[in-house]
Amino acid sequence: MQSSDTIVALSTPPGRSGIGVIRLSGDDSLDYVRSLLRDEQFAPDPHRVTLRTLRDTDRDETLDQALLTYFKAPHSFTGEDIVELSCHGSPVILLRVIDALLHLGARVANPGEFTLRALSNGRMNLTQAEAVRDLIDAQTHAAARQAARQLGGELSSRIQPVKDALIKIIVPLESAIEFVEDDLPDVAIAKIGLQLQGLTRNLEALANTFRAGRLLKEGLKVALIGRPNAGKSSLFNRLLSSERAIVTDIPGTTRDSLSEVLNIKGVPVLLTDTAGMRESEDPIEHLGIERTRRAVADADLIVVVVDGAQPLSADDEAILAEVFDAKHLIALNKSDLVNFGAARLNGASRHLDSLPVSAKTGAGLEELQHAILRPFDAGNEHDEDFLITSARHFDLLRRATGALHSSGGVLHHKASEDLILVGLYDALRFLDEITGETTPEDVLSEIFATFCIGK
């Protein structure tokens, strides 16, 4: 472990709370805390919590009473000496304690710097460090569960056997170059070929989980659009099970877009209720409709809400024409009304995907939620499937399979061992880059820049 300066950060969110946790990591952590306690002899037992009084270093004044935990290097998250102070969660107190520590010589931690130190000190590999970030950022239980599995080392433990198998192929090829004059015998070529196919399939299967994994992590943006009074806000509220948007029978009620996250089978869906679209002279309504257009442009999927109890209006037709080329589906709302069916989606509009729903009774809403995920082929995974959630991992897996493919091709044409080895070494390097053994410095800084401060 290298010696390092001592960093400090608030690890809990800024703002008022029951407690706020300040974290220190580095060689001088304990010294700084001794000064803060005005107790130079202070020698806490590692991994034990004690209640202590923190004092102002300049004035003889109590700052706070805090619970103090000391994690002695190397048995800590970062592998360095760590002290955690659980103070009362007043922003004023927390700021004063952090100021006092900075005054003593600590430095404010960069985003993810604690985790970066854990990585540098071999406390975890890169996939686990990324999982720490993903766990904190997870928006649904399913996303958190995937991140927790990756934190437990599942991704690296799936990659390791492939690396081991590659090395088992590389070693005899290397010695063949050294000791054997003759070409590889056909049986050996056939055997290596089969092994490479098996490994490629393995990595491809892992890479293919990214489609579902990305959705779980990044989610989808879905906009509800339609003419005024179609029932967009009612549907929005019903889907979120909350009276979030104002609903009235006055057309033009919603003036501004409103977004909330809805969890559909573990996929975080950012649902946006929009201002009804129609020809309007009202300048405020006009601005609202502009925002609707922006939400439409930004959405992965558009749900056009149509009042199914009214004949299609010119506004409905205009909206349907506008989304024709975009990924969309139609919710025929108000299926509870007797004259439901009045809106006929004529053959000319060729919109096949329409679902009867009722924002009032909730009928058809489960089907609507399924239909939202369907174009993305998501939500069919089993809970026990492990998913790739990072574009970086996906890209490197694809590159590794590409390298194995090219080795296989070279092998097939009975090329020399050193040519076959090129692809094998490339594949190994790409896999090592996933777990962090050979990840370039600039890629590392890019990854850690996406962390929050204090972790």
Ligand X SMILES: Nc1nc2c(ncn2[C@@H]2O[C@H](COP(=O)(O)OP(=O)(O)OP(=O)(O)O)[C@@H](O)[C@H]2O)c(=O)[nH]1
**Given 27, 154, 336, 395, the residue binding ligand X (CB under 6 A):** 336
**Given 206, 212, 223, 230, the residue binding ligand X (CB under 6 A):** 230
**CA 127/CA 104 separation, integer angstroms:** 35
**CA 9/CA 18 separation, integer angstroms:** 18
**Given 115, 233, 389, 407, the residue binding Mg ion (CB under 5 A):** 233
Please state, in angstroms and as integers, the Cα–Cα distance from residue 86 to each residue in 60, 80, 89, following that order.
Answer: 21, 19, 8
Choose the contact partner of 234 out of Mg ion, ligand X, none; CB within 5 to 8 A by kind. Answer: ligand X
Token pair for 377: 């082929």
Residue ranges in 27-153 assigned as alpha helix (H): 29-37, 91-104, 113-120, 126-137, 141-151
Cβ distance to ligand X smaller for residue 115 or 274:
274
Plot region of 29 (φ>0 → left; ψ -120 to 50 → alpha; else → beta): alpha
Please state, in angstroms and as integers, the Cα–Cα distance from residue 320 to each residue in 127, 173, 343, 368, following that order.
Answer: 45, 62, 13, 18
Choose the contact partner of 88 out of Mg ion, ligand X, none; CB within 5 to 8 A by kind. Answer: none
Rounded to a whole number of angstroms, the minimum distance from the CB of residue 247 to ligand X is 4
Token pair for 428: 């190994």
Rounded to a whole number of angstroms, the minimum distance from the CB of residue 358 to Mg ion is 16
Which stretch, 99-107, 122-130, 230-238, 370-378, contacts ligand X (CB under 6 A)? 230-238
Rounded to a whole number of angstroms, the minimum distance from the CB of residue 299 to ligand X is 17
Cβ distance to ligand X smaller for residue 157 or 248:
248
Using CB under 6 A as the binding rule, whether residue 356 contacts ligand X is answered as: no
Interaction mask 359-388, ligand X, x per CB under 6 A: xx----------------------------
Cβ distance to ligand X smaller for residue 128 or 257:
257
Which residue has tokens 């995937």?
146
**Given 4, 78, 121, 358, the residue binding ligand X (CB under 6 A):** 358
Residue ranges in 276-413 assigned as alpha helix (H): 283-298, 314-322, 365-373, 391-412
Rounded to a whole number of angstroms, the minimum distance from the CB of residue 337 to ligand X is 5
Using CB under 5 A as the binding rule, whether residue 257 contacts Mg ion is answered as: no
Cα radius of gyration rounded to whole Å, the chain: 29
Using CB under 5 A as the binding rule, whether residue 254 contacts Mg ion is answered as: yes
Cβ distance to Mg ion smaller for residue 310 or 349:
310
Using CB under 6 A as the binding rule, whether residue 228 contacts ligand X is answered as: yes
> By C-alpha distance, which of 31, 176, 170, 174 is closest to 104?
31
Burial of 57 (0-12, 13-18, 19+ CB in 10 A): middle
Interaction mask 231-270, ligand X, x per CB under 6 A: xxxx------------xxx-xxxx----------------
Pick out residues in 89-148 that bind ligand X (CB under 6 A).
none
Using CB under 5 A as the binding rule, whether residue 229 contacts Mg ion is answered as: no
Burial of 295 (0-12, 13-18, 19+ CB in 10 A): buried
Which stretch, 164-172, 201-209, 212-220, 229-237, contacts Mg ion (CB under 5 A)? 229-237
**Given 117, 214, 334, 393, the residue binding ligand X (CB under 6 A):** 334
β 258-264/19-25 pair status: unpaired
**Given 276, 356, 379, 454, the residue binding ligand X (CB under 6 A):** 276
Rounded to a whole number of angstroms, the minimum distance from the CB of residue 264 to ligand X is 20
Q: Chain centroid to CA 11: how far?
A: 20
Which stretch, 49-57, 155-163, 353-361, 413-421, contacts ligand X (CB under 6 A)? 353-361
Cβ distance to ligand X smaller for residue 72 or 255:
255
Q: In which order are the strands placed within the sheet that holds 301-307? A: 258-264, 267-273, 220-226, 301-307, 328-333, 354-356
Using CB under 6 A as the binding rule, whether residue 333 contacts ligand X is answered as: yes
Which stretch, 31-39, 59-67, 228-236, 261-269, contacts ligand X (CB under 6 A)? 228-236
β 258-264/82-88 pair status: unpaired
Cβ distance to ligand X smaller for residue 159 or 225:
225
Nearest 5°: the CA angle 225, 227, 231 is 75
CB 365 within 8 A of CB 357: yes
3-state secondary structure of 419: helix
Rounded to a whole number of angstroms, the minimum distance from the CB of residue 291 to ligand X is 12
Choose the contact partner of 375 out of Mg ion, ligand X, none; CB within 5 to 8 A by kind. Answer: none
Which stretch, 48-56, 90-98, 245-253, 382-390, contacts Mg ion (CB under 5 A)? 245-253
Tell whether the torsion through CA atoms of 436, 441, 447 and 452 is positive or negative. positive
CB 270 within 8 A of CB 346: no
Contact positions vs ligand X (CB under 6 A): 226, 228-234, 247-249, 251-254, 275-276, 333-334, 336-337, 358-360
Contact positions vs Mg ion (CB under 5 A): 232-233, 253-254
